[in-house]
C-alpha cells in the first residue's frame, strides 16, 4: 500500500470517528437492573390521583 493511500485511509477513519461523536445517539443510556428495580419501587407522584376529587 502506498503512502498516499495509507494516509488517506487514516484521515478518513479519523473524520468518521469525529462525525460519529457529533451524531445524535440513537440508544438510550443504559440503566442497570438494580437501578430499574429501585425506580419501579418508588411510587410515581403523578400516577396517584384520588377518584373523589370534585371536577
How many alpha carbons fall within 13 Å on the CB side of residue 2? 2
> For position 7, what pLDDT does the model report?
96
Distance (Å, whole) CA 31 – CA 7: 40
Tell me what pLDDT residue 42 has. 87
- pLDDT score, position 43: 79
| Prediction pTM value | 0.43
Q: Kindly tell me if the per-residue pLDDT of 6 is higher than 70.
A: yes
For 37-55, the pLDDT digits (tens) are: 999 998 766 655 666 666 6
Amino acid at each position: 500500500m502506498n503512502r498516499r493511500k495509507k494516509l488517506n485511509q487514516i484521515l478518513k477513519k479519523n473524520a468518521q470517528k469525529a462525525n460519529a461523536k457529533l451524531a445524535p445517539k440513537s440508544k438510550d443510556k443504559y440503566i442497570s437492573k438494580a437501578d430499574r428495580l429501585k425506580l419501579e419501587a418508588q411510587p410515581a407522584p403523578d400516577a396517584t390521583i384520588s377518584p373523589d376529587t370534585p371536577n
